[in-house]
Structure 1
Amino acid sequence: MSVDGGTKKGSPPSSNKSVFSSWFSGGTFFDAVLMEASQQIGQSILTLPWIFANMGFSLAIILLILVSCAGMWTQNLLISLLVEYRKEKYFIAKRAALVNNMPAAVADNDDNAGPIWGTFSIFIVILALGGLSVAQIISTSSNLYLLNWGIDKRLLSCIVGAVVSLTCFIPTYREYRAFTFLGLIATTYTGWYMTITSLVEGPIPNVDYTGPTTLQSFFTCFSAMLFMFGTHAAGMEKADVMNKPSRYDVAYGWSILYVYTITLPNGIAGYYRFGSEAATQQNAFYLFDETVFRQISVVLMCLHEVVAFGLFAGPLFVMTEKVLKIDHKHYLLKVFVRYIIVGIMLLIAIALPFFGVMNSLVGAFSTSLATYIIPAVAYNKHYNTRDKFDSKAKNAPLNANYMTTKTINWSIAALIFIFGLCMGGWASAVTMVEQAESIGNGFFAKCYKC
């Protein structure tokens, strides 16, 4: 038996038919690439001109690459810990079954990071997933408003909430392949629509390039960038249903290559066309003229955001069910609890409909921890001796040695803590307060920035 959930190394598939059936049943490496590529860059693609305008060309490009590389590194750390957990859990359970004549399934209480870190991590991940899901509702209603249906954003948010709540009925990610294809089509079209339009139409009259702007705006945008590459909170639940969980970090790396093709050209071209005008508009759709191509993009992105909601909310549902110990209860009970969770997220989205800055707030206070800091610290804490490191189930990123891995991990944790959690948290919180104060008719506004 393989602790990775696959077949023994070297054992061929029983037949071509089984390979064909397996491909369509989901759980393959291809599925993992699709899900990460679809989830990795969603509505945050619309914030790229705003990010570049507040950071400037050079810093935005450099930081986007560094943040994404740090994300690939820490994704490897998380998958390594998952594989190690599975290995230890399997052998502990097997030993318990032999010694005590107990079922192997009873040994389910191991935790690579320890009980305190484990509880804290669960809280942060739930916070991150909730914030990511709320951001999808806000973005969808903001985009739908551009279709000029005569419906205010608050009502649109309620409609969106009703639609995304249907994801409560989806059992696992193995049934999600068709939706991830839709997500990829939407982001690819939108990224290249904005890039080509910006390059063809050229700079607006009297364009100027003053980025970086203020320190507050810079770190608010840096937090939004962390959010952009911060899908690790959902990664473990997705990896866990794959045929080969140990390969999920490789799939993540391939998805990042795709992300580069729709983020870097888009951010550069958007800033080139709009310059400083983009520094105050967090939703790029509002910068472009109303054309049929833009409206197609709006519709596609709304569909993508519904898909992305499911990708983020799905792991949140599963984690909540495990915490409440109803993961093995009746399916309808789980659906009922999921609907309560969606209701809470919808309430937050209607009360705080701040596109862009919500990404920054989530990026600073949860993504920075769940994606970068906790994986690095937990990995160093678990592999705290050279012998333990050398006997690990999965190689370190880039086959780095013990000291190199620990040094890079501590560096990522420290830098993200200072510039992401502290500076980004300060900037995002101040920006959120400013936007909250700008609502003339209070929270749950019928239409914000209409």
Structure 2
Amino acid sequence: MMGYNRGDTLSGSGEHSSPLPLARELLPRRIDSNSDQTEQGSSEPTFAGKPGTSDNGWISLLSLVLWEGGSSFDAWLTASSVQVAQVLLTLPYSFAQLGLASGIAFQILYGFVGCWACYLMTALYADYRSIKENQHVSFKNHTIQWYEVLGGLLGPWWKAVGLIFSTTYLFCGSIIQLVACGSTVYYINDTLPKRTWTLIFGALFIFTVLIPTAQNYRLWSFLGILMTTYTAWYLTIAAALNGQVPDVKYTEANSLELYFTGASNILYAFGGHAVTIEIMHAMWRPRKYKVMYLYAVLYIFSLTIPSASAVYWAFGDRLLTITNAFAFFPKTKFRDAAVCVMLMHQFIEFSFSSLPVHLVWEKAIGVHHSNHFTIRALSRIPIVLVMWLISLMVPFFGPINSAVGSLLVTGTVYIIPCLAHMTYYSNSAARKSAIEQPPVWIFRSWRVMFAINACVVVLMVTVGVGMGGWASIKFFVKQVHSFGLFAKCYQCPKKYKQL
């Protein structure tokens, strides 16, 4: 079940050379586990593993169709699937904090700023990959990660900053998925408190260590998109059918604390490009990822804006009391189905969020390049156990999203890419040899690129880290004081006393 590990080379245009025409891509083939496999584009095979048949040809074909993904469509599926999961359930809460107009505006702003940051990361990855391959560095059995790109282009201090921020963010993002499962399943079966449900799901999530690389999510990403789409449209239609509750009120932004807490939650929702490098490394044509990510964000807009707007229209200020939108809808088979598919999607989201953390850990203890995936899988288990423990300790669904968004997402996927891009390309030689030149819509101007980068950094430092950090941490501390650590059932009926 090892994923294909590619040692492919970038052509002069920045695209990868290709082993097989597209029509032959899904034919059964045998890959030599000790060889590098290249990209798709030329008519001649250029990788050591050769296409062929096997005794179990239909199993090989099934594996290629459902398991071994690397196309641009796979990248779109993955980007869309990891972009928004349980945040769908807290966006109406954010709209109640911000107001309808600000909620929509922040979604659009952070979505497109995220696309810009993703573009910068793809540019840096392309140059890093090209430089290393010109030095005859092989990436056989090695997944490139964001902190390695920073270190390779800018030195050890940048590598350390990238490692700390990206690993911490994705570690916390994985914890949020566990917390969200305990919060969500409670609305199907409230006979157990949320803490017990989190214990159960933590045990199940250990099995996510069995997925080797970002290339092995084709089936899971496809299912994730279906699940997110169903849940979003369930919320939209159910809110419309339910109508406005009696005496609904819309006080909107009645305090700076609530306003910037809501903005930070939306910032967290559109921080999915934290796994850009891992997804690019799994692609046959990595440079296409920036376009696929834009398409993913546009699709997510079609889910998040209608659902959050409809639920806020129906319930107004009542959303300020409970962060999970499922709590406001009557128990029906459609709601229970939405809860179930969201739980499955959170399993997928946890798996993908934790994957980069696992890869960092594998490299740290020296098992990442092992040809025996069993060793790698077993080494990942302690990471899941630590995530499990912390999810039980701080089960504050909603506030924890905002805190992570303001303190970690801002630095990891907005500020650091912009600063790294300006620093590396401040050198004229780097600009001249850059694979990704400035786009046409900014007149191919490096100065315009640097100006946009500077604006994004100022925006994120002031609104994200500054105001957002202040508001989200203040609100988070209030939840700790109100419910305590290891709360038995956060925001539950009084039948579960807080411990």
The alignment status of 1:391 with 2:398, answered yes or no, reads no
Distance, in Å, in 2 between the alignment partners of 1:164 and 1:124 is 24
Of the three residues 195, 211, 216, the one matched with 1:170 is: 211
Q: For the Cα contact (< 8 Å) 1:13–1:19, is it kept in 2?
A: no
Q: For the Cα contact (< 8 Å) 2:181–2:343, is it kept in 1?
A: yes
Match of 2:451 in 1: 407
Of the three residues 320, 327, 334, the one matched with 2:368 is: 327
Shift of 1:250: 1.2
Shift of 1:16: 2.8
Q: For the Cα contact (< 8 Å) 1:217–1:427, is it kept in 2?
A: yes
Q: For the Cα contact (< 8 Å) 2:264–2:464, is it kept in 1?
A: yes
Q: For the Cα contact (< 8 Å) 2:9–2:133, is it kept in 1?
A: no
Match of 2:9 in 1: 2
Shift of 1:6: 6.2
Deviations 1:25-53 (A, max 9, x none): 31111110000111101000111111111
Match of 2:113 in 1: 70
Distance, in Å, in 2 between the alignment partners of 1:420 and 1:383 is 25
Q: For the Cα contact (< 8 Å) 2:322–2:491, is it kept in 1?
A: no
Match of 2:291 in 1: 250
Shift of 1:85: 0.2
Match of 2:131 in 1: 88
Of the three residues 392, 399, 416, the one matched with 1:357 is: 399
Of the three residues 390, 394, 397, the one matched with 1:348 is: 390
Change (3 A) 1:42 1:398: farther
Q: For the Cα contact (< 8 Å) 1:76–1:397, is it kept in 2?
A: no
Q: Which residue type is aligned with residue 425 of structure 1?
A: G
Q: Which residue type is aligned with residue 398 of structure 2?
A: G
Counterparts of 1:46-65 in structure 2, within 5 Å, are: 46-65=89-108
Of the three residues 28, 33, 37, the one matched with 2:80 is: 37
Shift of 1:398: 5.2
Q: Helix, strand or coil for the counterpart of 1:157?
A: helix
Match of 1:16 in 2: 23
Distance, in Å, in 1 between the alignment partners of 2:126 and 2:427 is 18
Change (3 A) 1:280 1:149: closer
Shift of 1:122: 0.8
Distance, in Å, in 2 between the alignment partners of 1:399 and 1:322 is 40
Distance, in Å, in 2 between the alignment partners of 1:317 and 1:12 is 29
Q: For the Cα contact (< 8 Å) 1:238–1:315, is it kept in 2?
A: no
CA RMSD of aligned residues (A): 2.2
Change (3 A) 1:178 1:44: same
Deviations 1:210-250 (A, max 9, x none): 11121111111111111101122222112111111111111
Shift of 1:59: 1.2
Distance, in Å, in 2 between the alignment partners of 1:49 and 1:149 is 22
Distance, in Å, in 2 between the alignment partners of 1:82 and 1:263 is 30
Q: For the Cα contact (< 8 Å) 1:29–1:251, is it kept in 2?
A: yes
Task: Name the structure with the higher helix share.
Answer: 1
Shift of 1:336: 2.6
Distance, in Å, in 1 between the alignment partners of 2:369 and 2:429 is 38
Change (3 A) 1:119 1:165: same
Distance, in Å, in 2 between the alignment partners of 1:29 and 1:73 is 19
Match of 1:382 in 2: 424
The alignment status of 1:143 with 2:163, answered yes or no, reads no
Distance, in Å, in 2 between the alignment partners of 1:132 and 1:437 is 23
Distance, in Å, in 2 between the alignment partners of 1:151 and 1:406 is 53
Change (3 A) 1:123 1:77: same
Match of 1:205 in 2: 246
Match of 2:31 in 1: none
Q: For the Cα contact (< 8 Å) 1:85–1:111, is it kept in 2?
A: yes
Shift of 1:114: 2.0
Counterparts of 1:420-435 in structure 2, within 5 Å, are: 420-435=464-479
Counterparts of 1:162-311 in structure 2, within 5 Å, are: 162-311=203-352
Change (3 A) 1:184 1:14: closer
Distance, in Å, in 2 between the alignment partners of 1:200 and 1:15 is 46
TM-score (norm 1): 0.92
The alignment status of 1:79 with 2:86, answered yes or no, reads no
The alignment status of 1:370 with 2:412, answered yes or no, reads yes
Q: For the Cα contact (< 8 Å) 1:38–1:184, is it kept in 2?
A: yes
Match of 2:155 in 1: 114
Deviations 1:32-78 (A, max 9, x none): 00001111010001111111111111111111101100000000000
- Where structure 2 has 5 or more consecutive residues not aligned to the other structure, the ranges are 1-7, 29-39, 41-63, 143-147, 493-499
Shift of 1:399: 5.2
Q: Helix, strand or coil for the counterpart of 2:124?
A: helix
Q: For the Cα contact (< 8 Å) 2:10–2:16, is it kept in 1?
A: no
Distance, in Å, in 1 between the alignment partners of 2:416 and 2:254 is 31
Q: Among the aligned pairs, what percent are the same residue?
A: 34
Change (3 A) 1:397 1:322: farther
TM-score (norm 2): 0.83
Change (3 A) 1:19 1:394: farther
Shift of 1:121: 0.8
Shift of 1:397: 4.8
Q: Helix, strand or coil for the counterpart of 1:212?
A: coil
Larger relative contact order (CA 8 Å, sep ≥ 6) = 1
Match of 2:462 in 1: 418
Change (3 A) 1:307 1:203: same
Q: Which residue type is aligned with residue 253 of structure 1?
A: L
Change (3 A) 1:379 1:347: same
Shift of 1:152: 2.0
How many residues are paired up? 436
The alignment status of 1:27 with 2:66, answered yes or no, reads no
Q: For the Cα contact (< 8 Å) 1:55–1:211, is it kept in 2?
A: yes
Change (3 A) 1:257 1:398: farther
Distance, in Å, in 1 between the alignment partners of 2:313 and 2:388 is 36
